[in-house]
Amino acid sequence: MSSTLKTAAPTPISRPPARPQPFPGLPEGVLLWQEYLSRAEQEAMVEDVRAAITQAPLFRGTMPKTGKPLGLQMSNLGDLGWFADRSGYRYVPTHPKTGAPWPAILPSLMALWQTLGDYPAPPEACLVNYYGPENKLSLHQDMDELDVHAPILSVSLGDQALYRLGGLARKDKTQSFRLNSGDVLVLTGPARMRFHGVDRIYPGTSTLLKQPGRINLTLRRVNLPPD
């Protein structure tokens, strides 16, 4: 009996695109999703951040010890915002100049936290850092939060940055890599308290913003979640 085996045309399977995987080879707890956000998502985010900072204008904090202005301009979204003045680094519920509560954290950022943050409680603060082409951020730890188990999730928008990642002690060896527009970086678990900073911005490497520079948004959980 001869039968002709007909090969059926493969049935197209519709499945959602595979979730991007974090970049391999980074230390445990350092999760980098390169260009996680599409151009359209980045544009929408910039527009929403611009709208928020017309309500909560960028400002420069001052260093607690010296009273010298910080290099970066910043603002915040959320119930709490990070702030620095003579009395120290801390989270405050209102804008230091306008006295108004910070605008709400964007729904698109809340969704990112849900997808990539892997943490049961929502973020309470989103620090908006604005880097001009000359700005940098010296090596530091994020240590003003009571909840040090929650991840820090950061989104890069605009020109490339040279990011420096250190260890848990200031003197530890560091490694550097570039962050691109649309990248999402999470420091979590054993990496939550790693030193980090931004050594330089590469002006002209992105067309997302109207002028050279970079916006970095970091989502933070500040207080311990209620039981």
The binding site for ligand SIN (CB under 6 A) comprises 127, 129, 137, 154, 161, 163, 179, 196, 198, 216, 218
Q: Is 159 in the site for Fe ion (CB under 5 A)?
A: no
CB of 48 to ligand SIN, least distance (A): 18
Residue 152 Cβ, how far from ligand SIN at the closest point, in Å?
Answer: 8
The DSSP secondary structure of the chain, one letter per residue, reads: -----PPPPPPPPP-PPPPPPPPTTSPTTEEEETT-S-HHHHHHHHHHHHHHHHHS--B--B-TTT-PBPSSEEEEEES-EEEEETTEEEEESB-TTT-PBPPPPPHHHHHHIIIII--SS---EEEEEEE-TT--EEEE-----S--SS-EEEEEEESEEEEEE--SSTTS--EEEEE-TT-EEEE-GGGTT--EEEEEEETTS-SSSSSS-EEEEEEE--SPPP-
State the nearest-atom distance from the C-beta of 72 to ligand SIN, in Å: 8
CB of 210 to Fe ion, least distance (A): 26
Given the complex with Fe ion, which of 124 and 142 has the nearer CB atom? 142
When the beta carbons of 56 and 127 are compared against ligand SIN, the nearer one is: 127
Distance separating alpha carbons of residues 140 and 197, to the nearest angstrom: 6
Q: Which CB, 17 or 215, lies closer to ligand SIN?
A: 215
Residue 155 binds: one of ligand SIN, Fe ion, none (C-beta under 5 to 8 A by kind): none
By beta-carbon distance, which residue lies closest to ligand SIN? 216
Residue type at 144? Answer: D
Q: Which stretch binds Fe ion (CB under 5 A): 53-61, 96-104, 135-143, 158-166?
A: 135-143
In the list Fe ion, ligand SIN, none, the entry touching 159 (Cβ below 5 to 8 angstroms by class) is none
| 142 binding Fe ion? (CB under 5 A) | yes
Question: Which parts of this chain interact with Fe ion (CB under 5 A)?
Answer: 142
